[in-house]
Amino acid sequence: TQLLEQSPQFLSIQEGENLTVYCNSSSVFSSLQWYRQEPGEGPVLLVTVVTGGEVKKLKRLTFQFGDARKDSSLHITAAQPGDTGLYLCAGGSGGGADGLTFGKGTHLIIQP
Amino acid sequence: NAGVMQNPRHLVRRRGQEARLRCSPMKGHSHVYWYRQLPEEGLKFMVYLQKENIIDESGMPKERFSAEFPKEGPSILRIQQVVRGDSAAYFCASSPKGSSGNTIYFGEGSWLTVV
């Protein structure tokens, strides 16, 4: 069974600070996706990474896929209250069974 | 997640009743996935369907749960004889191809409450 561990589970910081959240596994994934989910809504895709070592930037968000494709990180620079939400990572394993494996998420609160 | 339509958004059922959740994928998408999210839990994969075929149902409970994606119309997740433990948010997602390396798009979910 593939598992994705996300850390920290909860994070509350002040506006303007930087932060990094992590997504780790002992399994190799063919792709890894990051989502943001707000209360009462569905997950919204932020990024997909597929190549080991890949780095993608989305404004103040930087996503990295580990060289071995077992882990990923999300770094937010100068966090803003609008960044508040649940950040989920999800791994795809391919091979025909195409359901994604999700971590439990990091609950992020950015205080003004 | 714009484009994947789920209904109802909220559903209340008494124990023992049936719940039917519908999902219309994004235009042009022929792959549908159902996930369940329990309070304080991550999303758990339930089933993956293509038109008229169940591709992977490894995450579906063995009893009371079924899913279909007919040639015409939405995909339906059916829960018979609901119990309180079925209370959760059920999310549908769709993609043009299998999800491996491809983007899947989620709907806004259907919140089932069993009383």
Does the distance separating the beta carbons of B35 and A41 come in below 8 Å? Answer: no
The radius of gyration of chain A from alpha carbons, rounded to an integer in Å, stands at: 14
B40: chain A residues, CB-CB within 8 Å: 104
Does the distance separating the beta carbons of B1 and A96 come in below 8 Å? Answer: no
A106 close to A23: Cβ distance less than 8 angstroms: no
pLDDT in tens, B4-33: 999 999 999 999 999 999 999 998 888 999
pLDDT in tens, A67-109: 999 999 999 999 999 999 999 999 987 655 567 889 999 999 9
Does the distance separating the beta carbons of B107 and A102 come in below 8 Å? Answer: no
End-to-end CA distance of chain B: 29
Instruction: Kindly report the average pLDDT of chain A as a whole number.
Output: 91
How many residues are listed for chain B in this entry?
A: 115
Which of A4-13, B50-59, B93-102 is predicted with the least confidence, judged by mean pLDDT? Answer: B93-102
Parallel, antiparallel or unpaired: strands A5-7 and B65-68: unpaired
Distance from CA of B100 to the nearest CA of A (A): 5
The DSSP 8-state label assigned to residue A102 in this structure reads: E
**Mean pLDDT within A45-59:** 93
Residue B100 has pLDDT above 60, yes or no: no
Parallel, antiparallel or unpaired: strands B10-13 and B19-24: unpaired
* Residue B98 CB burial class (10 angstroms; 0-12, 13-18, ≥19): buried
